[in-house]
Amino acid sequence: PASPPRVLIVGAGVAGLGAALRLRRASRRFADLRLLEASGRVGGRIRSAKLGNKVVEMGAHWIHGPSRENPVFRLAGEYGLLDEGAMSEENQQVDIGGHLVLPSVCYSSQGQVVSPGLLDSMGVLFLTLLEETRGFLHAADVPVPSVGEYLKEAIAQQVKEWSEDEATKRLKLAILNMYLKVECCVSGTHSMDLVALGPFGEYATLPGLDCTFPNGYEGLTERMRALLPEDCVLFNKVVTTVRWGGSFVEPITGRLFPVQVECEDRETFLADHVLLTIPLGVLKEQQEALFCPPLPPQKVAAIRHLGFGTNNKIFLEFERPFWEPDCQVVEMVWEAESPLAEPPADLPAAWFQKIGAFVVLHPPERYGHILCGFIAGKEAEFMETLTDAEVLADLTQVFRRVTGNPQLAPPKNILRSSWHSEPYTRGSYSYVAVGSCGDDIDALARPLPEEGSDLKPSQILFAGEATHRTFYSTTHGALLSGWREADRLIHLYDGSESQRCAPKL
Ligand code: 6YU
């Protein structure tokens, strides 16, 4: 009988692990399977860490839309990783439409608490306008190229109808600017002006009130790894070259393989199929050197045009909270800022103003008093160049200023992510940038060689969050993309067998 196909998966994030498990469970045919992982751990952008003795998330934070249709939620439930509240029917039925709204306090740069009424009315306005931007999906024409420009024009129209005094109008604009910054974190972009308007509505949400993993998101990828044979994942294997469309002989067996993968340590691997789950940020940086022969033009264009930005987290542990016990978000409004004006350009002097909000890790019985600041774009990348002491000093000044308490004690502990500097990620997650659309996501996902070629099919397959047209930027999108490519291989060899041995999930 013919030898079983040899499959290599590059990257042991949730997409790679998901694909590996799906292949192994579907059929014994896929026993010749290994994962090459550049780092020394599985999980990729799912990474839990310790701040003191508390578990915090450096990457993925929530399960977005935790309900039956969400495969990450189903797996986490099956592995027993979620608490009762998250598993409840009631939680699964809440539909937040992608916008998690939590009880908050909002401080202004003048050292005042912003009136909750004003904050709510601006929150409702912002979400209404944002919802409008999703309506251009099937439109023949878009009024402006980006979500940011649309929002700004709509805000400029609103201002004309405002009848309050100038100070209140300025504060309202500053609040809307804070929501824009939060939205930059959600989309993982420097500015909403970079996010394409037409395709924005294609991102899909699922029902369920976003939930977290009480003992760390990484429990998910650790469990997935434990279900694979011990020697299946090879660590510290940085793939540097993928030679495809070839005919490489394996000396011992004399078998011929179409693909050869080379790692930084010069070790080579032969395969019938290589499934790449390398993040888009790395592909943007490395694609020219990585592939031999080079990728076809449409694939290169998709890699160049799709967006991949930075969203970082700054965890700060306080001895005592300055917020109320039921507060779950601390927001900050810089009163001189407006969506209708240029943002501050002096990064060293004003980088911290890009932090729109700090999430309070909840509940306090589990976390004590920890804030998690989200910061996106160039300011997030600048923050990566600072030391912990510098970040701590700048943020202590910010907290003293906004609370109006010059004696406020500095946080006692700090931990930060640096996703832009991470060599195997080069940013946080993807978005559909101006100049790209959902078709680029599909082009990125298409296997090589291209259809119509005489060469052996599906030599290189592509998965990872950036290849999922409607759930990009999420863990469930990544997992589904891994399953999609596993299914492609399963069907390539034997559709009927995969039907009979369908995996549980
Ligand atoms: C989610 C959330 N979340 C915050 C932050 C980040 C992300 N996400 P991986 O990178 O995991 O794996 C690839 C592997 O490849 C990796 O191990 C590498 O080491 C390896 N590799 C690379 N190069 C290699 C080479 N050359 N050789 C060998 N190996 C190599 N998702 O569901 N909930 O709360 C967040 C968040 C700070 C950084 C997130 C969240 C994104 C997920 O973490 C991410 O998609 C998956 O983990 C990726 O898995 P993977 O396997 O594809 O890659 C309208 C509209 C709006 C659109 N956006 C709205 C959604 C909001 C998204 N929310 C995100 C928010 C947070 C807070």
How does residue 497 score in pLDDT terms, banded at 50, 70 and 90?
very low
**Per-residue pLDDT reduced to its tens digit, 228-261:** 999 999 999 999 999 999 999 999 999 999 999 9
* Confidence (pTM): 0.96
Q: Return d(Cα 15, Cα 104) in angstroms, integer.
A: 34
With a 6 A CB cut-off, is 356 part of the ligand 1 pocket? no
User: 312 near 352, Cβ under 8 Å?
Assistant: no
With a 6 A CB cut-off, is 467 part of the ligand 1 pocket? no
Residue 338 Cα to ligand 1 middle (Å): 31
pLDDT for the residue numbered 254: 96
pLDDT for the residue numbered 20: 98
Residue 278 Cα to ligand 1 middle (Å): 10
With a 6 A CB cut-off, is 39 part of the ligand 1 pocket? yes
With a 6 A CB cut-off, is 432 part of the ligand 1 pocket? no
The residue contributing the CA closest to ligand 1 atom 26 is 239
pLDDT for the residue numbered 117: 95
**Per-residue pLDDT reduced to its tens digit, 130-174:** 999 999 998 989 999 999 999 999 999 999 999 999 999 999 999
Q: Which amino acid is at 234?
A: L
- Closest Cα partner for 65 from 475, 480, 469, 431? 475
- Residue to substitute in 45, 137, 236 for testing ligand 1 pocket (most ligand atoms within 8 angstroms of CB): 45
User: 177 near 341, Cβ under 8 Å?
Assistant: no
Residue 377 Cα to ligand 1 middle (Å): 16
User: 46 near 59, Cβ under 8 Å?
Assistant: yes
With a 6 A CB cut-off, is 310 part of the ligand 1 pocket? no
Instruction: Give the mean pLDDT of 213-238.
Output: 97
Buried b or exposed e, range 117-143, using 16+ CB within 10 angstroms: eebeebbebbbebbeebbebeeeeebe
With a 6 A CB cut-off, is 150 part of the ligand 1 pocket? no
| E-only strand ranges, 69-182 | 104-108
**Per-residue pLDDT reduced to its tens digit, 82-124:** 999 999 999 999 888 778 788 899 999 999 999 999 999 999 9
The residue contributing the CA closest to ligand 1 atom 20 is 11
User: 188 near 473, Cβ under 8 Å?
Assistant: yes
Q: Return d(Cα 437, Cα 54) in angstroms, integer.
A: 40
User: 259 near 6, Cβ under 8 Å?
Assistant: no
With a 6 A CB cut-off, is 203 part of the ligand 1 pocket? yes
pLDDT for the residue numbered 1: 56
**Per-residue pLDDT reduced to its tens digit, 176-208:** 999 999 999 999 999 999 999 999 999 999 999
- Mean residue pLDDT of the chain comes to 95
> For the purposes of burial, counting CB atoms within 10 Å of the CB of 411, is it exposed (0-12), middle (13-18) or buried (19 or more)?
buried
Residue 428 Cα to ligand 1 middle (Å): 6
Cα 449 from chain centroid? 28
User: 212 near 238, Cβ under 8 Å?
Assistant: no
